[in-house]
Amino acid sequence: MVKDKATVVVVGGGATGVGILRDLSMRGIEALLIEKQDMVNGASSRYHGLLHSGARYAVKDQEAAKECIEENTILRRIGKSCVEATMGMFVQVEGDDPDFVQPWLDGCKASGIKTRELSKEEAFRTVPNLSRKLVCAYEVPDGAIDGFRMSWQNLESAARYGGRYKTYTEIIGIDVQNGTVRGITVRDNVTGEEYGIECDMLVNAAGPWSGKVAQLAGLDCNVSPSKGTLIAFNQRITSHIVNRLRTPSNGDIFVPHGSITILGTSSITIPDPEDTSTSWDEVEELMKTGEGVFEHLRDYRILRVFAGSRPLYVPKGAEGGRNASRGFVTIDHEKEDGLKGMMTICGGKFTTYRLMAEKFCDVLEQKMFNKVSECRTAKEDLVPAVSEADRKAARQYFPAYGVNLAATRLGVDKFPEVVQTLKDKPETREVICECENVTMAEIQRIAAEPSSHSVADVRRRTRLGMGTCQGNYCAIRAAALTHKLFKETSDELPDSLSDMKNFLQARWKGITPVMMGKTLREAEMTRGMYELLFNVNGGRRK
């Protein structure tokens, strides 16, 4: 049964997919994006959150380096509320190859990346806990970026131009007639309903899952998923992003995000992009490498470990893993495989998602309409900023430090609604998540959206449970609150207990590989609270 149709259907709700939806919508092309789970649930949320300056690629891949520095500048401008302009530092410590420095400096210069040499004294003033085995340090324009927020703001921008999206909508079949894609079959992963969507063009932007989508049409697009493991620490170890000044390897990037720091990453070729497992061996490798930069790294408490898959494009006969290019490729399946009405985009990096979308949409529009419209995605802000006057007026209703956090999360469309709720209903000023200053009013606003079906969905939009307590205190509050809200907006009674267990299990998955020391004590406190005090598992040890 055909239930929907669009000129272009985009598969994949990561950075590349939402970037394409925004670009197509701004060009006036009718487009619908589908994602099998919640948005930004894959590679675009499971990485270190580095807004690359390009310096990491300046020696080996200058094309990628140039793209990164150009897009870095653009994203700082159009996505101000998503970017923390921390700046970055490349450091060498004793034992690193001194002959790598000059080629790196030459590569940065050729790529248009500004570098500034720091004296040891200035480096230690900037990042006081750097290793005293420091040899040299250089400043570069790296930044930190919130992948969840950036992606959702792309969707909000696309919606203003008529773009549509559906979460929990999984492609399970491709309708091919006489060598042409006519539509797709999808399954609603909330209700289980299966139905058809007609389209003139199917865009495969499923990242590491692009190969699986292509297989539905009997095609192969040579995507090699590469798993990267990362460690989140419970405090801000550094105010700058810190990179190891050497050939890119495992565990040589520290990225501060809000009140935490992320160390990454490894690179392991895997057959299945669903593999987000982690192990103590991977953690120990990252820790040993990280200690070269921060000698007292083990003094910090590990919050969690997590992993994601990179969508590396590896042509036949080429090397994968760290040696694979971070560039991207557009595949026209009519030219490559004789199948009309389907294109694939794969490879690339989060930092260059907008540029990837622009170049891809140029090709698509030329193919479908024999023209190329002006791309305006680099000129227009993702969302209008909340004014300082509105922030000032809202401060009397928010917890300390909560106004700016909420303003950047909610944007100009939702922020006034939440402020009005806080004003009219003082009980909604209750802080549900102390770590991230998330109020009841904000959770109510996000939970009321059609795309929200669980506490985890609300988490990705508000950062609920993503702070230093990892959901210990806010999980039960949020489950009770969202249970009431979902009950009011759904025909079926939500299972709040299972929802809370799933939420905690996702947090637990990241803790189990590092169950020792302070982390072990925190885990035992969580078990005591939920299993014994709240009787979540029947009040007995499992």
Note the pLDDT of residue 300. Answer: 92
Confidence category of residue 490, pLDDT binned at 50, 70, 90: low
CATH T-level fold of 2-43+148-222+326-369:
FAD/NAD(P)-binding domain (3.50.50)
CA distances 21 to 130, 161, 366, 383, 477, Å, are 42, 10, 16, 15, 35
Rounded to 10 deg, the angle between the 496-511 and 474-489 helix axes is: 140
pLDDT above 80 (res 420): yes
CATH architecture observed for domain 84-143+227-309: 2-Layer Sandwich (3.30)
pLDDT above 50 (res 402): yes
Report residue 255: phi and psi, to 5°. Answer: -125, 120
pLDDT above 90 (res 109): yes
Do the beta carbons of residue 346 and residue 219 sit within 8 Å?
Answer: no
pLDDT above 90 (res 368): yes
Note the pLDDT of residue 221. Answer: 83
Neighbours of 399 (CB within 10 A): 16
pLDDT above 70 (res 319): no
Residue 375 — left, alpha, or beta (φ > 0 → left; ψ -120 to 50 → alpha)? beta
Confidence category of residue 475, pLDDT binned at 50, 70, 90: confident
Q: Among the listed ranges 316-330, 361-375, 422-436, which one has the minimum average pLDDT value?
A: 316-330
Asked, as a colleague might, if the bond just before 265 is cis with ω within 30 of 0, I would say: yes
If you average pLDDT over every residue of the chain, what do you get? Answer: 90
Note the pLDDT of residue 243. Answer: 97
- C-alpha to C-alpha distance for 298 and 290, rounded to whole angstroms: 10
Average pLDDT over residues 341-366: 95
pLDDT above 80 (res 269): yes
Which H or E run contains 328?
strand 328-332
Q: What is the 3-class SS of 336-378, one letter each residue?
A: HHCCECEEEEEECCHHHHHHHHHHHHHHHHHHHHCCCCCCCCC
Note the pLDDT of residue 487. Answer: 62
Q: Which of 344, 337, 279, 271 is nearest to 307 (CA)?
A: 279
- C-alpha to C-alpha distance for 261 and 313, rounded to whole angstroms: 29
If you write DSSP's letter for every residue of 173-195 in order, what string do you get? EEEEETTEEEEEEEEETTT--EE
Task: Extract the tokens encoding 102.
Answer: 């000059």
Alpha helices (runs of H) in 37-61, residue ranges in sequence order = none
Do the beta carbons of residue 342 and residue 333 sit within 8 Å?
Answer: yes
pLDDT above 80 (res 270): yes
> Torsion angle, CA of 341/346/348/353, rounded to 10 degrees?
40
Note the pLDDT of residue 37. Answer: 93
Long-range contacts of 274-280 (CB under 8 A, 24+ apart): 275/225, 275/227, 275/307, 275/309, 276/46, 276/227, 276/306, 276/307, 276/308, 276/309, 277/307, 278/229, 278/305, 278/306, 278/307, 278/510, 278/513, 279/513, 280/513, 280/514
Confidence category of residue 495, pLDDT binned at 50, 70, 90: confident
Average pLDDT over residues 230-249: 94
Do the beta carbons of residue 263 and residue 231 sit within 8 Å?
Answer: yes
Could you give the percent of the chain with pLDDT greater than 90? 64
Average pLDDT over residues 262-279: 87
| Pairing, β 2-11 against β 31-34 | parallel
Q: Where are the domains of the chain?
A: 2-43+148-222+326-369, 84-143+227-309, 388-533
Give Cα 424 to chain centroid, integer Å: 34
pLDDT above 50 (res 335): yes
Note the pLDDT of residue 337. Answer: 95
pLDDT above 90 (res 317): no
Task: Extract the tokens encoding 114.
Answer: 């500004």
pLDDT above 50 (res 60): yes
Average pLDDT over residues 169-191: 97
Confidence category of residue 488, pLDDT binned at 50, 70, 90: low
Report residue 446: phi and psi, to 5°. Answer: -75, -40
Note the pLDDT of residue 493. Answer: 47
Note the pLDDT of residue 315. Answer: 67
Residue type, 346: C
Q: Among the listed ranges 161-175, 308-322, 496-510, which one has the minimum average pLDDT value?
A: 308-322
Average pLDDT over residues 147-171: 96
- C-alpha to C-alpha distance for 76 and 145, rounded to whole angstroms: 9
Note the pLDDT of residue 259. Answer: 83
Note the pLDDT of residue 312. Answer: 78
pLDDT above 60 (res 279): yes
Residue type, 169: T
Confidence category of residue 326, pLDDT binned at 50, 70, 90: low
Do the beta carbons of residue 229 and residue 266 sit within 8 Å?
Answer: yes
Note the pLDDT of residue 539. Answer: 40
- C-alpha to C-alpha distance for 380 and 382, rounded to whole angstroms: 6
Do the beta carbons of residue 248 and residue 259 sit within 8 Å?
Answer: no
Note the pLDDT of residue 318. Answer: 52
Do the beta carbons of residue 268 and residue 322 sit within 8 Å?
Answer: no
Average pLDDT over residues 473-491: 74
CA distances 375 to 31, 145, 154, 361, 534, Å, are 16, 23, 15, 9, 54
Q: Which of 202, 170, 173 is nearest to 337 (CA)?
A: 202
Residue with tokens 């919606």: 159
Note the pLDDT of residue 339. Answer: 97
Note the pLDDT of residue 118. Answer: 98
Higher-confidence position of 366 and 315 = 366
In a 3-state reduction of DSSP, which class is residue 115?
coil
Note the pLDDT of residue 541. Answer: 41
pLDDT above 90 (res 323): no
Neighbours of 130 (CB within 10 A): 21
